[in-house]
Amino acid sequence: MNYKPNKFFWEKIYNWLKSFIELSFYSDNNSALLLRSFLLDYPRISLEEIYSSVEGKKVIVIAGSKCYEDYINCKNPNEAIIFVADKGIRCLSRNDIKPTAIITDLDGINDNILFHPKYKNSYFFIHAHGDNQELIKKYLPSIMKQKIKIIGTTQTKPFYPLFNFGGFTDGDRTVFTALFFKAKEIEIYGIGEEYFNIDVFYNLNKLDIKAKKFLAGYLIINWLKCKWKYRISIPYENDEKCLEIYPWEE
Protein backbone atom coordinates (compact mmCIF):
# COMPACT_ATOMS: atom_id res chain seq x y z
CA MET A 1 0.00 0.00 0.00
CA ASN A 2 1.45 3.35 -1.02
CA TYR A 3 1.15 6.10 1.60
CA LYS A 4 1.86 9.50 0.09
CA PRO A 5 0.50 12.88 1.20
CA ASN A 6 -1.43 14.95 -1.29
CA LYS A 7 1.42 17.24 -2.28
CA PHE A 8 -0.71 19.43 -4.50
CA PHE A 9 -3.09 20.49 -1.74
CA TRP A 10 -0.62 20.78 1.10
CA GLU A 11 2.18 22.59 -0.73
CA LYS A 12 -0.23 25.32 -1.85
CA ILE A 13 -1.47 25.80 1.73
CA TYR A 14 2.05 25.74 3.14
CA ASN A 15 3.27 28.39 0.70
CA TRP A 16 0.33 30.60 1.65
CA LEU A 17 1.08 30.13 5.37
CA LYS A 18 4.66 31.29 4.85
CA SER A 19 3.41 34.54 3.34
CA PHE A 20 0.61 35.01 5.88
CA ILE A 21 2.25 34.39 9.27
CA GLU A 22 5.63 35.65 10.45
CA LEU A 23 6.99 32.38 11.88
CA SER A 24 10.32 30.58 11.64
CA PHE A 25 9.34 28.39 8.70
CA TYR A 26 12.98 28.43 7.60
CA SER A 27 13.72 26.23 10.65
CA ASP A 28 11.07 23.62 9.82
CA ASN A 29 13.58 21.45 8.01
CA ASN A 30 16.11 21.67 10.85
CA SER A 31 13.46 20.55 13.33
CA ALA A 32 12.50 17.68 11.04
CA LEU A 33 16.15 16.58 10.85
CA LEU A 34 16.36 16.71 14.64
CA LEU A 35 13.26 14.55 15.08
CA ARG A 36 14.58 12.20 12.40
CA SER A 37 17.85 11.78 14.32
CA PHE A 38 15.89 10.44 17.30
CA LEU A 39 13.64 8.14 15.31
CA LEU A 40 16.04 6.64 12.76
CA ASP A 41 16.76 3.57 14.91
CA TYR A 42 13.46 3.57 16.79
CA PRO A 43 11.02 0.72 16.01
CA ARG A 44 8.72 1.82 13.21
CA ILE A 45 4.96 1.62 13.56
CA SER A 46 3.21 -0.06 10.65
CA LEU A 47 0.92 2.41 8.93
CA GLU A 48 -1.12 -0.56 7.77
CA GLU A 49 -1.85 -1.27 11.43
CA ILE A 50 -3.38 2.19 11.89
CA TYR A 51 -5.03 2.14 8.50
CA SER A 52 -6.83 -1.13 9.23
CA SER A 53 -8.31 0.23 12.45
CA VAL A 54 -9.55 3.52 10.92
CA GLU A 55 -10.56 2.92 7.30
CA GLY A 56 -14.30 3.06 6.74
CA LYS A 57 -15.07 4.00 10.35
CA LYS A 58 -16.19 7.09 12.24
CA VAL A 59 -13.46 9.12 13.91
CA ILE A 60 -14.14 11.71 16.60
CA VAL A 61 -11.59 14.51 16.38
CA ILE A 62 -10.93 16.54 19.53
CA ALA A 63 -9.16 19.54 18.04
CA GLY A 64 -9.03 21.72 21.17
CA SER A 65 -9.17 21.63 24.95
CA LYS A 66 -12.87 22.38 25.45
CA CYS A 67 -14.92 19.39 26.63
CA TYR A 68 -18.26 18.46 25.09
CA GLU A 69 -20.80 16.06 26.54
CA ASP A 70 -21.38 14.53 23.09
CA TYR A 71 -18.14 12.59 23.16
CA ILE A 72 -17.51 12.45 26.91
CA ASN A 73 -20.87 10.87 27.70
CA CYS A 74 -21.22 8.81 24.55
CA LYS A 75 -21.80 5.11 24.98
CA ASN A 76 -18.56 3.18 25.44
CA PRO A 77 -16.25 6.17 24.72
CA ASN A 78 -13.16 3.99 25.05
CA GLU A 79 -14.42 1.85 22.18
CA ALA A 80 -14.73 4.88 19.90
CA ILE A 81 -11.95 5.90 17.53
CA ILE A 82 -10.77 9.22 18.95
CA PHE A 83 -8.02 11.34 17.43
CA VAL A 84 -7.05 14.12 19.82
CA ALA A 85 -4.92 17.20 19.18
CA ASP A 86 -2.37 18.17 21.81
CA LYS A 87 -4.15 20.12 24.60
CA GLY A 88 -7.37 18.20 24.00
CA ILE A 89 -5.82 15.23 25.80
CA ARG A 90 -6.39 17.06 29.09
CA CYS A 91 -10.13 16.89 28.58
CA LEU A 92 -10.01 13.17 27.83
CA SER A 93 -7.66 12.56 30.76
CA ARG A 94 -10.04 14.23 33.22
CA ASN A 95 -12.82 11.99 31.97
CA ASP A 96 -10.75 8.79 31.82
CA ILE A 97 -11.12 8.40 28.05
CA LYS A 98 -8.28 6.83 26.10
CA PRO A 99 -7.67 8.16 22.56
CA THR A 100 -6.65 6.05 19.61
CA ALA A 101 -4.17 8.68 18.42
CA ILE A 102 -2.58 11.80 19.90
CA ILE A 103 -1.39 14.42 17.42
CA THR A 104 1.03 16.83 19.07
CA ASP A 105 3.93 19.22 18.63
CA LEU A 106 4.64 18.66 22.36
CA ASP A 107 3.75 22.15 23.58
CA GLY A 108 0.40 21.30 25.17
CA ILE A 109 1.03 18.09 27.04
CA ASN A 110 3.09 17.20 30.10
CA ASP A 111 4.95 14.32 31.71
CA ASN A 112 1.83 13.05 33.48
CA ILE A 113 0.16 12.54 30.11
CA LEU A 114 3.16 11.40 28.11
CA PHE A 115 4.11 8.74 30.62
CA HIS A 116 0.71 7.60 31.86
CA PRO A 117 0.25 3.83 31.32
CA LYS A 118 -3.23 4.48 29.94
CA TYR A 119 -1.75 6.06 26.80
CA LYS A 120 0.95 3.50 26.15
CA ASN A 121 -1.10 1.86 23.40
CA SER A 122 -2.16 5.15 21.80
CA TYR A 123 -0.37 6.27 18.66
CA PHE A 124 1.68 9.44 19.19
CA PHE A 125 2.01 11.50 16.01
CA ILE A 126 4.86 13.80 17.06
CA HIS A 127 5.31 16.82 14.83
CA ALA A 128 8.44 18.84 14.05
CA HIS A 129 8.25 22.53 13.13
CA GLY A 130 10.50 25.55 13.40
CA ASP A 131 9.55 26.48 16.96
CA ASN A 132 9.70 23.20 18.86
CA GLN A 133 13.28 21.98 18.64
CA GLU A 134 13.82 22.43 22.39
CA LEU A 135 10.68 20.43 23.17
CA ILE A 136 11.87 17.62 20.91
CA LYS A 137 15.21 17.55 22.74
CA LYS A 138 13.44 17.64 26.10
CA TYR A 139 10.85 14.93 25.57
CA LEU A 140 12.03 12.48 22.90
CA PRO A 141 14.66 10.62 24.98
CA SER A 142 12.24 9.87 27.81
CA ILE A 143 9.33 9.16 25.43
CA MET A 144 11.44 6.59 23.62
CA LYS A 145 12.36 4.90 26.89
CA GLN A 146 8.65 4.33 27.49
CA LYS A 147 8.45 2.48 24.15
CA ILE A 148 5.53 4.65 23.09
CA LYS A 149 4.20 4.13 19.57
CA ILE A 150 5.65 7.12 17.68
CA ILE A 151 5.01 8.34 14.16
CA GLY A 152 7.14 11.36 13.30
CA THR A 153 5.65 14.09 11.12
CA THR A 154 6.82 17.24 9.37
CA GLN A 155 5.15 20.04 7.43
CA THR A 156 7.95 20.18 4.86
CA LYS A 157 9.15 17.58 2.36
CA PRO A 158 9.20 14.31 4.33
CA PHE A 159 12.22 12.05 4.51
CA TYR A 160 12.61 8.68 6.19
CA PRO A 161 11.22 7.94 8.72
CA LEU A 162 9.00 11.06 8.87
CA PHE A 163 5.67 11.62 7.13
CA ASN A 164 3.75 14.67 5.97
CA PHE A 165 0.02 13.99 6.21
CA GLY A 166 -0.75 17.71 5.91
CA GLY A 167 -1.65 20.20 8.60
CA PHE A 168 -0.39 23.37 10.27
CA THR A 169 -1.92 23.52 13.75
CA ASP A 170 -2.41 20.42 15.86
CA GLY A 171 -6.15 20.71 15.23
CA ASP A 172 -6.21 20.74 11.45
CA ARG A 173 -3.32 18.26 11.31
CA THR A 174 -5.52 15.86 13.30
CA VAL A 175 -8.25 16.14 10.66
CA PHE A 176 -5.73 15.63 7.84
CA THR A 177 -4.45 12.53 9.63
CA ALA A 178 -7.94 11.04 10.01
CA LEU A 179 -8.57 11.69 6.30
CA PHE A 180 -5.25 10.13 5.36
CA PHE A 181 -6.23 6.90 7.08
CA LYS A 182 -9.56 6.96 5.21
CA ALA A 183 -12.02 7.56 8.02
CA LYS A 184 -15.51 7.26 6.57
CA GLU A 185 -16.91 9.96 8.85
CA ILE A 186 -15.13 12.64 10.89
CA GLU A 187 -16.84 14.59 13.66
CA ILE A 188 -14.88 17.61 14.89
CA TYR A 189 -15.07 19.33 18.29
CA GLY A 190 -13.12 22.02 20.10
CA ILE A 191 -12.00 24.49 17.41
CA GLY A 192 -13.94 27.49 18.69
CA GLU A 193 -16.71 26.56 16.29
CA GLU A 194 -19.52 27.76 18.52
CA TYR A 195 -18.48 31.40 18.29
CA PHE A 196 -16.16 31.72 15.29
CA ASN A 197 -17.32 33.71 12.29
CA ILE A 198 -15.64 33.09 8.96
CA ASP A 199 -16.07 36.80 8.11
CA VAL A 200 -13.09 37.45 10.39
CA PHE A 201 -11.08 36.37 7.37
CA TYR A 202 -11.77 39.73 5.76
CA ASN A 203 -9.97 41.57 8.60
CA LEU A 204 -6.70 39.67 8.34
CA ASN A 205 -4.44 42.70 8.65
CA LYS A 206 -5.80 43.48 12.12
CA LEU A 207 -4.74 40.13 13.61
CA ASP A 208 -1.64 39.39 15.69
CA ILE A 209 0.41 36.22 15.16
CA LYS A 210 -1.50 34.13 17.70
CA ALA A 211 -4.82 35.12 16.15
CA LYS A 212 -3.47 34.44 12.66
CA LYS A 213 -2.42 30.93 13.70
CA PHE A 214 -5.89 30.28 15.10
CA LEU A 215 -7.52 31.67 11.98
CA ALA A 216 -5.26 29.67 9.66
CA GLY A 217 -6.11 26.45 11.48
CA TYR A 218 -9.81 27.24 11.40
CA LEU A 219 -9.73 28.17 7.70
CA ILE A 220 -7.96 24.93 6.85
CA ILE A 221 -10.51 22.87 8.80
CA ASN A 222 -13.34 24.82 7.19
CA TRP A 223 -11.82 24.13 3.77
CA LEU A 224 -11.50 20.43 4.56
CA LYS A 225 -15.12 20.30 5.74
CA CYS A 226 -16.35 22.08 2.62
CA LYS A 227 -14.24 19.90 0.34
CA TRP A 228 -15.30 16.64 1.99
CA LYS A 229 -18.73 17.75 3.22
CA TYR A 230 -20.20 14.25 3.14
CA ARG A 231 -17.45 12.95 5.43
CA ILE A 232 -16.71 15.82 7.81
CA SER A 233 -19.09 17.51 10.25
CA ILE A 234 -18.70 20.12 13.00
CA PRO A 235 -21.77 19.63 15.28
CA TYR A 236 -21.49 22.90 17.22
CA GLU A 237 -20.55 25.07 14.26
CA ASN A 238 -21.94 28.59 14.52
CA ASP A 239 -21.09 29.65 10.97
CA GLU A 240 -21.47 27.08 8.20
CA LYS A 241 -20.16 29.29 5.41
CA CYS A 242 -17.67 28.11 2.84
CA LEU A 243 -15.48 30.65 1.09
CA GLU A 244 -15.84 30.85 -2.67
CA ILE A 245 -12.07 30.92 -2.96
CA TYR A 246 -9.64 30.12 -0.13
CA PRO A 247 -6.47 32.22 0.00
CA TRP A 248 -4.19 29.36 -1.11
CA GLU A 249 -6.43 28.75 -4.13
CA GLU A 250 -5.98 32.23 -5.58
Whole-number pLDDT of residue 1 = 37
Flag whether the pTM goes above 0.85: yes
| Per-residue pLDDT, 77 | 62
39 or 238, which is more confident? 39
pLDDT at 160 over 90: yes
Q: What CA–CA distance (Å, rounded) separates 161 from 153?
A: 9
pLDDT at 109: 80
Looking at residue 70, its pLDDT comes to 66
Is the pLDDT reported for residue 205 higher than 70?
no
How sure is the predictor about 72, in pLDDT bands with cuts at 50, 70 and 90? low
What's residue 4's pLDDT?
44
- pLDDT score recorded for residue 210: 81
Mean pLDDT lowest among 81-90, 111-120, 132-141: 111-120
Q: What is the mean pLDDT of residues 127-132?
A: 94
pLDDT of residue 178: 96
Mean pLDDT, residues 50-72 = 84
Per the prediction, the chain carries an average pLDDT of 85
The pLDDT assigned to 250 comes to 80
Least confident of 65-74, 120-129, 150-159, 177-186: 65-74
pLDDT band at 204 (very low <50, low <70, confident <90, very high): low
Which range (50-64, 167-181, 205-219, 221-235) has the least confidence?
A: 205-219
For residue range 16-39, list pLDDT tens digits in order.
999 988 888 889 999 999 999 999
